[in-house]
Amino acid sequence: MTDILSAIRWWAALTALGLAALPLVYTLLRRLPDRGFAFARPAGLLLVTYVFWLAGTLGFSANDGGGIALALLVVGGLSWLAYRRRPDSDPPLGEWLRANLTSVVVTELVFVGIFALWAWVRAQNPAISATEKPMEFAFLTGVGQSPTFPPLDPWLSGFAISYYYFGYVMVSLLSRLAFVAEPVAFNLAIAWIVAATATGAFGMVYNLIALRRPVTTDRGPQTADHSLIAPGSGRPSAVGGHGRAAIVLGLVAALAVPIAGNLQIGLELLHGNGIGSDAFWAWLDVRDVDGPAVNSPAIAPSAGSDATAAQPARYETSSWWWWRASRVIHEYHLSGRAEEGLEPIVENPAFSFILGDLHPHVLALPFAFLAMAVALAWWREITNYELGIRNSEPATRHAPPATTPSSFIIHPSSFIISLAVPWPLWLFTAVVLGGLSFLNTWDVGIYLFLVLGAWFLGHWFRAGTTRGLWRRTALLAVALVVPAALLYLPFYLGFRSQAGAPFILPFLMRPTRLAHYLIIFGMPMLVIVITLVTMAARRRFRHWQAGLGAAAALVGGLLLVMLLWTWLLAAGPESGRIVDLARELAITLPAHPGTTFAPGWGVRAVVALLPAVLGARLVSPWLVLLLAGVIALVVMLFRSWVEEEEKPQITQITQIEEEEIYPLIGQIGQIKEEGDPQISQITQIEEEENYPRIGQIEEKRGGAFDVAALGQVRVAADAEWGARAMPFVLLLILTGALLTLGPEFVYLRDNFGQRLNTTFKFYYQAWAMFGVAALVGLDYLWATRRGAADRVVAGLATAGYLALLAVALLFPFFAVQSRAAEYRGPARTADGAAADRQPATLDGLAQLARYNPAEYEAILWLRDNVAAAAGAPPVILEAVGGQYTGFGRVSAATGLPTVLGWAGHEWQWRGSDHPEPGRRETIVEQIYTTRDLGVVAFLLDEFGVHYIVVGDPEREQYGTVGLSKFDELPVAFANDRVTIYRWQPAAP
């Protein structure tokens, strides 16, 4: 019951934050069909946390409940002010909520349902142990212990956190607002992220489909922002309905994007049940399922049991078989040697949520969907039909857009007019992008590209030319990056990235196999490819030269960049990497001149390696060809839409015209398919009498009506529907394709020296974008079908997607059971009876309480008696060991800073040249092993140590010889296995 009440309070806290921001979101995202309702909670949490963090950083408030209350009041006040100054044409929020009750209720049910589901999932295995959970827990508790911001680093006393810690401030804020202890908050945070991601995916799919589908109502005509004009009032009413498809496919997105895994689970089931030949598994070459297809025993037979007895397949055990879903790509060096240990990471959200890590890429996911919605709002502002762009005469089509009569929405400046977006939306975008950088720096460039792309496409479609647009887009990038950086400047001043010059490295290994890529992205890519080909075929592949040219130029450019960076490596001080590669390939290079920069030698090295590099890509070109083809189709469609925008005699087909024309298209298509001679009896007179719209088009075309003309009408109407949302969907597809194509040539440099982090962060966002685009693509195929062939294509795409989705949903089904068995024990005994299992709980320290009650008791004492004290937290001393281990456990569980936690991670965060981690590791060992307390007293004073922990890790790491000296000190806490000594450091 305690956990249930904690979950309810957590939901209430999130709802309060969402309500505080809802009036603001309702105003800023007014062009979206749901007015941003699905994104209110992430927006509220982002804004309140930002004000809380900034006020604490600048000294206006403390890191406490008062600071949280102040931030909530500020955001609520600004939100209400924005709402009060909304355009006069906007319906009141309450009226809109009542009119859109169905979509509002469904959105809330998605959030509550997924939140409750994943709270239950986390209760099956809540342990804050293994992988990087101790680090994440340390940041969460460390934020709570810090009196101000930036928060103190719990694993390097005296230093602030040098990492993107904004997400941990958010969770800490929620923890205090909901009165939930941090060990429980850790798991509820994961549940809320899953729910917010599901709601974000639902919201994006719902909005895109609702934008593209005409609204049918008997209350009045539809306006540009999907409100309706009430008869006789001249004012939009709030009544509207966007069809069942938007809701149904949105619900599918709420499962497919955050909860469904990739297709590796299908391989796991086939392999575990002995299906598939040895040759097939060897060809597929996915590690851990590349051997003979037999049942894979997770544990050896116990003593006295039948060694030949069949063991359960891995997916039915508590083993970590599900880990393989994040390591699908089996990487090989150019020499054919398999990469061991640093293979590409290809997580998707479902894997992250099963694993249960509260890492920045997970914390940022709801806000990535918020940024996606903001980009869509930019697209809608620029292409807003209310501006009269589509219905204007050709002479006025390129004129600047009319502005909304509201001093809040449009600021009377040439800069804002040139942006064609409200200045509050511009400022809100800067806050969101800056927040993404603070949450997970990898994401900010991706969503900056998405916003810029939406703006670029909107203006391209509106003006029909890119003349001057590239320069203006570059200026817009500056206009977003500068305020985003200034708004979060205190963070950047204290942040040090592990990336270093030359920042980009060439990918000099064998390319990713298409089979591995499709295991990861096969489900959305099936629909995406079918949708793109269908759309291009309806336009008879117009502008195919432009599409192929753009794709070829992109691939060629990436190849040149790869070779250029290879040359920079060879010519610079890191030429040893190139020398080692040549040696492994048995390629003889001329002697290096020994200078710091040797450009000539670098050229010769690149030329020598070129056959091996290009040869590997020619042997396996299929992934690059697929992605290049996708990009070519997207560019073709962009060009086609721009062309159709330039032909008002075709594109000025309104919703009413579509309703008149489409039945005729279906009739004539059916006649044509049946070979009925009546088709020849359709004369121009009959057309003009019975189908006046076609007669008008015919007159403008200047020729007699024929079947080809009818096809052109169909394309025009299809373009009119598609132009509302499909260009933005294509932008999502393009962005995802670029994110997955880029790492085939170059990757961002970090401490690992391989592309694993680049594929990790890029594939993660591509999953979200492909997932949204695929479901909107399904709707497009069904909504624009007219003949039997269209129905077959739509049916096959839907059946294929649903079949793959059913397979992908087996991943959480089996993985959740495995994780539960790992923590709670098996659900069934050997004879099939219900087993006596450990109780489910949300307490992340319950495992410690079960297996090490003495240490748990000591940690609780510190949390209750030391960590809860006011003022700067005291420093503790505990054993130092390897990363990804149980060391640093006391500081992580309490938030009290220790002299040193995981040294390897500190080097990742601060750079490998930072002296403190290496120096402190030796000092901690010296303090514990030296027999004379007087010898190390000055070291305890230097680091301001107040408490010295002596438990099993300290005895195992340093022995017991030097520990007896601490008996001279007063004991603060003791039980049978843990003693905490008190030290009073000398005044500095």
pLDDT in tens, 777-788: 999 999 888 889
Examine the pLDDT at 207 and tell me if it is beyond 50: yes
Number of Cβ within a 10 Å radius of residue 431: 18
Name the residue type at position 933.
L
> Do residue 770 and residue 857 come from a single domain?
no
HSE-CB for 99 with a 13 A CA cutoff: 22
CATH of the domain at 915: 3.40.50
Q: Does residue 864 lie within any of the structural domains?
A: yes
Evaluate whether 746 touches 507 at the Cβ level (below 8 Å). Answer: yes
- Same domain (yes/no): 610, 754: yes
Please count the other Cβ atoms lying within 10 Å of the Cβ belonging to residue 350: 26
**Mean pLDDT, rounded, for 298-304:** 41
Is residue 966 scored above 90 in pLDDT?
A: yes
pLDDT exceeds cutoff 70 at 262? yes
Confidence of residue 497 (pLDDT cuts 50, 70, 90): low
Q: How far apart are CA 908 and CA 752, in angstroms?
A: 9
Residues 483 and 504: their CA atoms lie apart, in Å, by 26
- Which H or E run contains 183? helix 182-212
Q: What does the DSSP 8-state code read for residue 156?
A: S
Confidence (pLDDT) at 115: 98
Indicate if the pLDDT at residue 181 is higher than 90: yes
Q: What is the pLDDT of residues 777-824, one digit of tens each?
A: 999 999 888 889 999 999 999 999 999 999 999 999 999 999 999 999
d(CA 877, CA 963): 13
Note whether 778 and 249 are within 8 A (CB). Answer: yes
Report which of residues 848 and 646 the model is more confident about.
848
According to DSSP, the β-strands at 746-748 and 875-877 are unpaired
And the tokens for 398? Answer: 């390129």
d(CA 737, CA 755): 17
Q: Does residue 936 belong to any structural domain of this protein?
A: yes
- Judged against a pLDDT cut of 80, whether residue 882 lies above it is answered with yes
**What distances in angstroms separate CA 485 from CA 162, 477, 482, one per listed residue?**
17, 12, 5
Q: Among 768, 784, 800, where does a domain finish?
A: 784
Q: What local confidence, expressed as pLDDT, does residue 283 receive? A: 93
Distance separating alpha carbons of residues 479 and 481, to the nearest angstrom: 6
Helices (H), 403-543: 414-419, 423-439, 441-463, 469-487, 489-493, 514-538
pTM of the model: 0.88
Strand bridging mode 971-974 / 945-950:
unpaired
The pLDDT, as a whole number, for residue 293 is 66
Q: What are the phi and psi torsion angles at 982 (to 5°)?
A: -100, 135
User: Is residue 773 located within the same domain as residue 895?
Assistant: no
Report the alpha-carbon distance of residue 409 to residue 425 in Å, rounded: 8
Q: Which of 754, 784, 814 is the last residue of a domain?
A: 784
53 within domain boundaries: no
When computed from its CA atoms, the radius of gyration of the chain, rounded to whole angstroms, is: 31
- State yes or no: pLDDT of 53 exceeds 50: yes
Q: Is 512 helix (H, G, I), strand (E, B) or coil?
A: coil
Inside any domain, residue 438 = no
Rounded Cα distance, 923 and 929, in Å = 10
Structure tokens at 478: 């500056």
Min mean pLDDT across 35-44, 124-133, 800-809, 902-911 is at: 902-911
Helices and strands of the chain, counted as H and E runs: 40, 8
Q: Among 148-157, 490-499, 890-899, whose mean pLDDT is lowest? A: 490-499
* Backbone dihedral region for residue 101 (phi beyond 0: left; psi -120 to 50: alpha; all else: beta): alpha
d(CA 815, CA 875): 40
pLDDT at 903: 92
Q: Calculate mean pLDDT across residues 249-269.
A: 96
- CA separation for the pair 189, 49 (Å, rounded): 15
- What pLDDT score does 900 carry? 96
Could you tell me if residue 603 is inside a domain?
yes
Do 895 and 766 have their domain in common?
A: no
DSSP β-bridge partners for residue 945: 875
Q: Are residues 974 and 881 in the same domain?
A: yes
- How far is 704 from 99, CA to CA, in rounded Å? 47
Q: Write down the pLDDT at residue 862.
A: 95
Rounded (10°) angle between helices 365-382 and 756-783: 50
- Residue 514's contacts (CB-CB under 8 Å, 6 or more residues apart) are 620, 622, 623, 626
Tokens of 558: 């990436």
Dihedral angle sign, alpha carbons of residues 370, 210, 408, 77: negative
pLDDT digits (tens, 9 = 90+) for 320-373: 999 999 999 999 999 999 998 889 999 999 999 999 999 999 999 999 999 999
Which residues, including other chains, have CB under 8 Å from residue 843's CB and lie 6 or more apart?
Answer: 3, 126, 181, 183, 184, 849
Residue 100 lies in a domain: no
766 occurs within a structural domain: yes
Pairing of strands 875-877, 945-950: parallel
User: Residue 528 in contact with residue 777, Cβ under 8 Å?
Assistant: yes
Same domain, 912 and 779: no
Neighbour-count burial of 556, counting CB atoms closer than 10 A to its CB (0-12 exposed, 13-18 middle, 19+ buried): exposed
Instruction: Report the b/e string of 285-297 with b at 16+ CB within 10 A.
Output: ebebbeeebeebe
- Which pLDDT does position 869 carry in this prediction? 64
Q: Which two three-digit tokens encode residue 48?
A: 């309140």
Q: Which of 166-170, 592-596, 784-788, 836-840 is predicted most confidently? A: 166-170
Q: How confident is the model at residue 223 (pLDDT cuts 50, 70, 90)?
A: very low
**Amino acid letter, 735:** T
Dist CA 485 CA 137 (whole Å):
27
Sorting pLDDT into bands at 50, 70 and 90, what band is 750?
A: confident
What's residue 503's pLDDT? 83
In degrees, rounded to 5, the angle at the alpha carbon of residue 469 between the alpha carbons of residues 464 and 470 is 135
- For 370-392, the pLDDT digits (tens) are 999 999 999 998 887 433 334 34
- What secondary structure letter does DSSP report for 742? G
Strands 979-982 and 971-974 come out as: antiparallel
Q: What is the DSSP string of 560-617?
A: HHHHHHHHHHHHSTTHHHHHHHHHHTT---PPP---S--HHHHHHHHHHHHHHHHHHH
Q: Which amino acid is at 761?
A: K
Domain that holds residue 908: 852-982
- Give the number of other CB atoms < 10 A from CB of residue 738: 18
The percent of residues above 70 in pLDDT, for the chain, comes to 82
Tokens 């000294």 belong to residue: 59
> Is 113 within 8 Å of 258 (Cβ atoms)?
no
> What mean pLDDT is reported for the chain?
85
* Amino acid at residue number 276: G
Shared-domain flag, residues 765 and 640: yes
Token pair in block for residue 42: 């992430």
Q: How far apart are the first and last CA of the chain?
A: 49
Q: Quick check: 215 pLDDT over 70?
A: no
Task: Evaluate whether 220 touches 267 at the Cβ level (below 8 Å).
Answer: no
745 and 875 together in one domain: no
Question: Among 353-357, 409-413, 629-633, whose mean pLDDT is lowest?
Answer: 409-413
Contact call for residues 945 and 982 (beta carbons, < 8 A) = no
Neighbours of 56 (CB within 10 A): 25
Which is higher by pLDDT, 928 or 316? 928
Specify the range with the lowest mean pLDDT, choosing from 313-327, 490-504, 522-536, 673-687: 673-687
DSSP notation for 862-903: HHHHTTTSSSSPPEEE-----TTSSTTHHHHHH---BS-S-H
Two tokens, residue 492: 């950047």
187 with 841: CB under 8 angstroms? no
The answer to whether position 72 is within a domain reads: no
pLDDT at 213 over 80: no
Q: What is the mean pLDDT of residues 532-544?
A: 93
- 312 band by pLDDT with thresholds 50, 70 and 90: confident
Number of domain units in the chain? 2
Tokens read off for 57: 């950083």
pLDDT of residue 988: 67
Strand (E) or helix (H) holding 114: helix 101-124
Q: Are residues 865 and 974 in the same domain?
A: yes
Give the separation between CA 111 and CA 192, rounded to whole angstroms. Answer: 8
CB 923 within 8 A of CB 899: yes
The one-letter code for the residue type at 858 is: A
Residues 753, 863: one domain?
Answer: no
Residue 301, SS3 per DSSP = coil
Q: What is the mean pLDDT of residues 98-124?
A: 96
Asked whether the beta carbons of 462 and 398 are under 8 A apart, the reply is: yes
Task: Flag whether pLDDT at 474 surpasses 80.
Answer: yes
User: Among the listed ranges 296-305, 317-326, 754-763, which one has the minimum average pLDDT value?
Assistant: 296-305
Question: What mean pLDDT comes out for the span 653-665?
Answer: 41
Instruction: Round to whole Å and give the CA distance between 662 and 655.
Output: 10
- Looking at residue 199, its pLDDT comes to 98
Residues 663-713: pLDDT tens digits?
Answer: 444 444 444 444 444 434 433 433 333 434 444 444 444 444 444 444 444
Stretch among 394-403, 759-768, 897-906 having the lowest mean pLDDT: 394-403
Q: How far is CA 784 from the centre of its chain?
A: 30
Query: At which of 753, 784, 815 does a domain end?
Result: 784
Residues 779 and 867 in one domain: no
H/E element holding 716? helix 707-722
- Tokens for 47, please give them: 């804004």
Residue 777 and residue 206: Cα distance in Å, rounded? 12
Say whether both 558 and 635 belong to one domain.
Answer: yes
Between 508 and 215, name the one with better pLDDT. 508
Q: Decide the pairing of beta strands 979-982 and 945-950.
A: antiparallel
